[in-house]
Amino acid sequence: MKALQCIELGGPEKLVVNEIEDPKIQPGHIIIDVKAASVNFPDVLMIQGLYQFQPPMPFIPGGESAGIVSEVADDVQNFKVGDKVFAMSGTGAFAEKILAHEASVMLIPESMNYDSAAALSMTYGTSLYALKQRAKLKAGETLLVLGAAGGVGLAAVELGKEMGAKVIAAASTQEKVDLAKKHGADEGFVYPSGKLDKDQQKELSKTIKELTNGLGANVVYDPVGDNYAEPCLRSTAWDGRYLVIGFAAGEIPKIPLNLALLKGCKIVGVFWGAWVGLDPDGNKENFKELFEMHADGKINPEVSDAFDLDNGAEAINHLASRKAKGKVIIKI
């Protein structure tokens, strides 16, 4: 089969497309003929050796895919050849075939095509868990989303709106803010795209306060981190929840803890992948909700760019260089 392989850690330019052996079936697993796979920021980190876990070299990047089951291990009861499925495998998705553990696979509902199925799981799975289980977002509260036109950001905008919040979208260009508004954000503003200086940080806090009638945001959804984090934490409302989603802007911020004391707010960690392992039933319940929302047209994964497998490295580069709006997928 054809696969995009990481044979040396580094940027997307180090990735190579190789012809390698098809995967062999293993107990508890199925093999999927991949139709679409989507790019997520963890792929960018993993090929550089910067993610929370590191697969042995060489490896095939790609955390999520959708396709048709072509082989099933004897001990697997819940899937059969020909089923349309998506897999949250962590790695291995940027290839013509993937060996996936049955626990990481779900049937694609009727309402969804392969592209949407490949684009939905990590972003909407993360954002629903973040807003529902971690922030306990309530109708009528204000939700500020940073990186609001990125993968997890745009999912948070749609889900926040669906949960009855007033959603404020923040992003680095007007085009990105407009996309978030198209997906339901009530308000939006553009923040600077480089490293923020002290004045820009103050300006960011001021803008958030102005858009929340001086009260601050009840929930901040932050996949950007770096020095965007502190001014946003400074702009939370009393009893606010600041969600630590990721650090796409680079640095892991160090926060003065007196801010949490003064604002009576919570700094809440979100690690969706770990929660899926700890509470698989809770995750299934969340996905049932996501499928219903999709069937009712309430959520709609935005696929902005599609690449073929030969140009898979370019797909990852597109996301890494901040050009992606919504999801970037690789069609196979």
Write out the residues near ligand NAP by the rule CB under 6 A.
40-42, 122-123, 126, 147, 149-153, 171-172, 176, 193, 223-224, 245-250, 270-273, 319, 322, 324
Query: Cβ atoms within 10 A of the Cβ of 91, count?
Result: 20
Closer Cβ to ligand NAP, 262 or 274, answer by number: 274
Place of tokens 């004391």: 261
To ligand NAP, the closest distance from the beta carbon of 315 in angstroms equals 12
Query: CB of 81 within 8 A of CB of 28?
Result: no
Q: How far is the CB of 199 from ligand NAP (least distance, A)?
A: 19
Least distance to ligand NAP, CB of residue 135, Å: 13
How far is it, in rounded angstroms, from Cα 226 to Cα 230? Answer: 8
CB of 25 to ligand NAP, least distance (A): 29
Select 69 or 243, whichever has its Cβ closest to ligand NAP.
243
The least CB distance from residue 113 to ligand NAP, in Å, is 20
Q: Which is nearer to ligand NAP, 40 or 212 (CB)?
A: 40
**Sign, CA torsion 109/132/267/238:** positive
Non-local (6+) Cβ contacts of 228 within 8 A are: 146, 191, 196, 204, 222, 249
Mention every residue, 6+ apart, whose C-beta is less than 8 A from residue 222: 146, 147, 228, 229, 232, 242, 243, 244, 245, 246
In the complex with ligand NAP, the residue whose CB is nearer, 29 or 176, is 176
Residue closer to ligand NAP (CB basis): 51 or 291? 51
**Tokens found for residue 62:** 């790609």
Instruction: Say which residue the tokens 């508004």 belong to.
Output: 181
